[in-house]
Amino acid sequence: MDFTRNLREMLWARVGENKDFANRKRMADALGIDPSQLNRFMDGERGLSVESLGRVLDGLGARLVLPGEAEAETAREVCFVAPRTTGAAHDAMPPAAEDYFAVPLAAEPVAAGPGRIPQDDIRGWVLVWRHHESVRFRNDLVAVTIGKGEMSMVPTLHPGDIVLVDRAEKSPDPVGKIMLVSEPDGGCAVKRVATRAVDGDVELVFYSDNSKEYAPRVYRLNRDYGGELYNAIGGRVVWAWSDMTRK
């Protein structure tokens, strides 16, 4: 019963003015479930079907962790200590810690790997406003810097830009997602991804926005990655910090 009560409280906490959803109807639409079913659950009248429960948990960014398993989340809660503000009036309210994630910054091969980022591999931390549309309901996040001389994603991304990767989203569909990818030789990069079925296998095409100088690279899921998508794709790029003085 604790799980049901906690889930109900989590949903209530996200409904209202200046929250994730203005009302329960918008929440139901975003989660892809029937509004009347959501209303009855939140009012304590009945439970959710298995399918609806799955959609709610997916929408909230929940991850199933069995007893004895390590949690997969990489983003951490933030505790602000006398934060310094800029651009705001002196009497403005300071930022609230619960509105932010601290996301580890790591090298591409480390970020593309499974599990938590080891302490020795964390290059720094990036603060992320958790209510932004691209971040909401995500928590398995890691940040990656586009390396010096990496021009393949110009003009979308330049060397020195920082991208935010959701490691829980590994599906390459629809075509054209920008993703952190791993090549069979162990190299990693940020590329767009396309797929198609070929001869009983799945063809993975990693291609660049700077296509004149960087040709697409084509691999096979079964032949090159043992049939495991997580060996090929580390996650989806959902946000980027870019130096606008160069554009």
Check whether residue 113 and residue 233 sit in a common domain: yes
Task: Say if 128 falls within a structural domain.
Answer: yes
Q: Rounded to whole angstroms, how far apart are CA atoms 189 and 174?
A: 19
Identify the domain boundary among 10, 28, 59: 59
CB 42 within 8 A of CB 8: yes
User: Regarding predicted confidence, which is higher, 4 or 240?
Assistant: 240
Q: Tell me which residue range forms the domain holding 191.
A: 76-246
Check whether residue 55 and residue 147 sit in a common domain: no
SS3 at position 217: strand
Identify the domain boundary among 59, 87, 107: 59
Q: Rounded to whole angstroms, how far apart are CA atoms 247 and 242?
A: 9
Q: Rounded to whole angstroms, how far apart are CA atoms 221 and 216?
A: 16
pLDDT at 202 over 90: yes
**Count: domains in the chain:** 2
184 Cβ contact partners less than 8 Å away, ≥ 6 residues apart? 219, 224, 225
Task: Say if 48 falls within a structural domain.
Answer: yes
For residues 234-242, give the mean pLDDT: 95
95 band by pLDDT with thresholds 50, 70 and 90: confident
Check whether residue 103 and residue 54 sit in a common domain: no
Element containing residue 207 per DSSP (H, E): strand 201-207
Identify the domain boundary among 59, 88, 107: 59
What's residue 125's pLDDT? 94
Among 203, 175, 170, 207, residue whose Cα is nearest residue 191? 207
Check whether residue 33 and residue 112 sit in a common domain: no
pLDDT at 42 over 50: yes
What's residue 82's pLDDT? 64
1 band by pLDDT with thresholds 50, 70 and 90: very low
Task: Say if 7 falls within a structural domain.
Answer: yes
Task: Say if 174 falls within a structural domain.
Answer: yes
Task: Say if 234 falls within a structural domain.
Answer: yes
CATH number where 82 lies:
2.10.109.10
Task: Say if 70 falls within a structural domain.
Answer: no
Check whether residue 123 and residue 80 sit in a common domain: yes
126 Cβ contact partners less than 8 Å away, ≥ 6 residues apart? 102, 103, 104, 105, 143, 162, 164, 241
Task: Say if 221 falls within a structural domain.
Answer: yes
- Residue whose tokens read 């298995």: 50
Q: How many whole angstroms from its chain centre is CA 223?
A: 28
Q: Rounded to whole angstroms, how far apart are CA atoms 35 and 53?
A: 13
What's residue 29's pLDDT? 82
Task: Say if 71 falls within a structural domain.
Answer: no
pLDDT at 89 over 60: yes
Check whether residue 102 and residue 181 sit in a common domain: yes
Check whether residue 52 and residue 151 sit in a common domain: no
pTM assigned to the model: 0.68
Check whether residue 51 and residue 83 sit in a common domain: no
Q: Rounded to whole angstroms, how far apart are CA atoms 22 and 84?
A: 31
Q: How many whole angstroms from its chain centre is CA 214?
A: 26
Mean pLDDT, the chain, whole residue set: 86
What's residue 204's pLDDT? 97
Check whether residue 130 and residue 221 sit in a common domain: yes
What's residue 111's pLDDT? 94
Check whether residue 46 and residue 81 sit in a common domain: no
What's residue 203's pLDDT? 96
CATH number where 11 lies:
1.10.260
For residues 142-163, give the mean pLDDT: 95
Check whether residue 6 and residue 104 sit in a common domain: no
pLDDT at 36 over 80: yes
Check whether residue 123 and residue 184 sit in a common domain: yes
109 band by pLDDT with thresholds 50, 70 and 90: very high
67 band by pLDDT with thresholds 50, 70 and 90: low
Burial 234-243 (b: 16+ CB within 10 A, else e): bbbbbbbebe
pLDDT at 31 over 60: yes
